[in-house]
Amino acid sequence: MTQTVTAKLHRLTTPAGVNVSYARYGSGPPLVLVHGGFSDHDSNWELIKPLIAEQFTVHAIARRGRGETDATETHSLIDEAEDVAAVIRSVGEPVFLLGHAVGALIAAEAARTAPALVRKLVLYEPPKPTLLSGTVFQQLSALADQGDWENYSWVFFKEGLGIPIEEMEELRASEVWAAYVADARATAQDMRALREYELDPQRFQDLNIPTLFQVGSESPAELFLTDELAPVFPNARVETLAGQAHEGMTTAPEQYVAAITKFLLG
């Protein structure tokens, strides 16, 4: 039987005046989670929630446009890193910090902003700013301008990530599709901010925080920044999640939690 975890939504206002919300649950050392696109503070971690709640006091941030966090349209990934840093500072002690997908880039920038308050850092496949080709990005931008979030989601996964049509049909018929479409507006802002992100790996050369880069053995490595960033971080290692792709916390929750627990608490 799956354990039910009760989470309480907290709120704070950052120095920049942004209202940020985050779900808090569990017990143990503090772990701050930063979700990726097409997900939120709940759905990104849904299947690992009962497992991590047994070992950590989780602070699962709702990024811009999710939960009760302000929805903005001109923010940068650096702005979101400041949101994360504000939550970290509110905890009152150094934290473990984990980011997934675009949330991994945001987490890395947040760690650079407040390095003394991050004990260890986990980065799961931060995407390249060129994740989407120029043609696909233009097509998605046009759909976003029309508010056509159904087709935005379809084009993102099929054309942007190259998911085969058979898998796309299964995805669209699944119970998660409605959640993807509902999050597409916020994800469109993620993709705009990612596209505008000025990548400079050397910014992290002095970030001497123990860092774990996670990659899925089935993931297309050319879409992600692991190979560019991991050699620059002075105290980093790369670990492969065998048999998994970009969503290991969903496709293999026990395996995923074992991997992060070994690194964070080992």
pLDDT digits (tens, 9 = 90+) for 46-75: 999 999 999 999 999 999 999 999 999 999
The pLDDT score that the predictor gives to residue 4 is 83
The pLDDT score that the predictor gives to residue 1 is 43
For the chain, give the percent of residues with pLDDT over 90.
96
Maximum CA extent, the chain: 49
Check pLDDT > 80 for residue 247.
yes
How confident is residue 76, by pLDDT bands cut at 50, 70 and 90?
A: very high
Instruction: Give the whole-angstrom CA distance, residue 138 versus residue 145.
Output: 11
33: left (phi over 0), alpha (psi -120 to 50) or beta: beta
How confident is residue 261, by pLDDT bands cut at 50, 70 and 90?
A: very high
Instruction: Give the whole-angstrom CA distance, residue 121 versus residue 165.
Output: 36
The pLDDT score that the predictor gives to residue 3 is 67
The distance of Cα 170 from the centroid of its chain, to the nearest Å, equals 24
Check pLDDT > 70 for residue 144.
yes
Check pLDDT > 90 for residue 189.
yes
Q: Any idea where the domains of the chain sit in the sequence?
A: 8-129+197-265, 134-191
32 within 8 A of 238, measured Cβ to Cβ: no
Average pLDDT, the chain: 96
3.90.1150.10, 2.60.40.1760, 3.40.50.1820, 3.40.50.2020: which CATH number matches 8-129+197-265? Answer: 3.40.50.1820
The pLDDT score that the predictor gives to residue 256 is 97
How confident is residue 2, by pLDDT bands cut at 50, 70 and 90?
A: low
Strands (E), 35-190: 57-62, 95-100, 118-124
Check pLDDT > 70 for residue 126.
yes
Instruction: Give the whole-angstrom CA distance, residue 15 versus residue 167.
Output: 44
